[in-house]
Structure 1
Amino acid sequence: MSKLHAPLAFALCAALLAAPASAQQAPKKKLYCWNEGGRKVCGDALPASATDAARTEFSTKSGLATRQVGRALTEEERAAAAAQAELAGQAQFEEAARRMRERAMAESYATEADLRRAFNERIALLDDTIKAAQLSIGGLRQSLISLLRQAGEAELAGKPVPANLTGTIRTQHSELMRQQAMLVSHHKDRSEIDTELAHALQTYRELKAPKAPAVTPVEGGGT
């Protein structure tokens, strides 16, 4: 029996001795360099006090830098980075939503003229709104000038400015500021609609452009 099992035991020992070198090799060592108290410190082990510090890792075999690790962010920096990422994500979402609206709009019209007509209606409505706001602001300004003149005449005459006149002046001034801010917003909407129309037309033309026919390769064709 021992003669039958000896070759098998010998083979098992040989297989174990011939195991892949990668399984038996120790992990590759690294050299770390970091700043500590204003001076550069290097070592083959990273102390706990330096785990959050910026550092450079070197290969002990080649001496070349293999990795750059930035310092750990503070709580404030992490919060700022998270807020910035959220804003970027929101901007991407809004841009994607705008593109989807433009695509849906472009697909809703049979011709480019229909698309332009729909935008022209919106443009005309905005133009009318701007004109009405300008007229209202002009009327408010004239009324306020008249009220201020009355208050000035009373002061020049050595009389107190009536309380109701002072209140009306304040109310008129607040309303003038409000309508002027609205007019700025209307002008902004008016300028943006031109850009929106340009994007919608571009999307419409891309969707309606004829597709190039697929080319079928011709087999054979020997001379």
Structure 2
Amino acid sequence: MVARCVAALGLMLASLLSTPAVAGGAILCCENAEGRRVCGDVLPQACYGRAYRRVASDGTVIERIAAPMSEAERIAAEREARLRELEEDRRRMQRLQDRALLDTYRSAADIDQREQRAIGEIERDLAKAKAREEQLRQAQERLQEEAKLHPAGAVPADLTQAIRDNQSELAAQETVIDAKLKNIDAVRARYSRDRERFKTLTATPASR
């Protein structure tokens, strides 16, 4: 009886020894510092910090595990990921802008008409500002001529104040005119960009 138990135990041990140490017969392999292949049922010490592979019993590579990144590589990878994220944000924003552009304009001619109307409104305000500037300049000339009728240092206080007020308003009007001119340039630049982008988006494949 004891002999039979010993024999059975021997068969069990033999069966266990014939079973691969890693499930499915996979082992872990890498190239060591000398470039030689090193394998083991668990990751060999020579593979620490290096890329390695999980290899099946038939030699098929099941999985490749990259080596841990260095600090410099990690920073570079994070930077590349951030750049990809920013680029995707830019492309998403461009798609939204393009959609809005196509929803806003019916045609290139529509863009031209809207530009003309926008500039026309500014030019009407600009004409009023220039007319007011001319009135102020003429008033300034009259005030200066009146001041000349008085001896130096004896110009009446109210006349002196009128000259100062006129000069202040004239300076403000000049600022308004400058802002209107810059506004016209900005409008033209904006509609020019819209026009070019609209043509690009609506161009047929053959004409691109």
Q: Shorter-chain-normalised TM-score: which range?
A: 0.5 to 0.7
Amino acid at match of 2:168: S
Residue 178 (structure 1) shift: 1.6
Q: Unaligned 5+ residue runs, structure 1? A: 30-64, 71-87, 213-223
Distance, in Å, in 2 between the alignment partners of 1:116 and 1:194 is: 10
Distance, in Å, in 2 between the alignment partners of 1:137 and 1:117 is: 30
Aligned to 1:2: 9
Query: Taking structure 1 as the reference length, what is the TM-score of the superposition?
Result: 0.50
Distance, in Å, in 2 between the alignment partners of 1:175 and 1:155 is: 26
| Residue correspondences, number | 151
Query: Taking structure 2 as the reference length, what is the TM-score of the superposition?
Result: 0.53
Which protein has the larger Cα radius of gyration, Structure 1 or Structure 2?
Answer: 2
1:191 is the counterpart of 2:185: yes
Amino acid at match of 1:196: R
Residue 175 (structure 1) shift: 1.7
Aligned to 1:15: 21
Distance, in Å, in 2 between the alignment partners of 1:21 and 1:114 is: 68
Aligned to 1:106: 105
Distance, in Å, in 1 between the alignment partners of 2:151 and 2:189 is: 52
Aligned to 2:35: none
The answer to whether the 8 A contact 1:105-1:200 is kept is: no
The answer to whether the 8 A contact 1:103-1:204 is kept is: yes
Question: Of residues 149, 168, 171 in structure 1, which corresponds to 2:165?
Answer: 171
Identity %: 18
Question: Of residues 144, 153, 159 in structure 1, which corresponds to 2:154?
Answer: 159
Amino acid at match of 2:192: A
Residue 140 (structure 1) shift: 1.2
The answer to whether the 8 A contact 1:133-1:179 is kept is: yes
CA offsets 1:154-189 (integer angstroms, 9 cap, x no match): 352x52541x33333332222222211111111111
CA gap of 1:116–1:150, structure 2 versus 1, over 3 A, is: same
Distance, in Å, in 2 between the alignment partners of 1:145 and 1:19 is: 100
CA gap of 1:197–1:24, structure 2 versus 1, over 3 A, is: same
Distance, in Å, in 1 between the alignment partners of 2:160 and 2:190 is: 45
CA gap of 1:120–1:21, structure 2 versus 1, over 3 A, is: closer
Q: Unaligned 5+ residue runs, structure 2? A: 1-7, 31-42, 51-69, 76-85
Where does structure 1 differ by over 6 angstroms across 4 or more consecutive aligned residues?
none
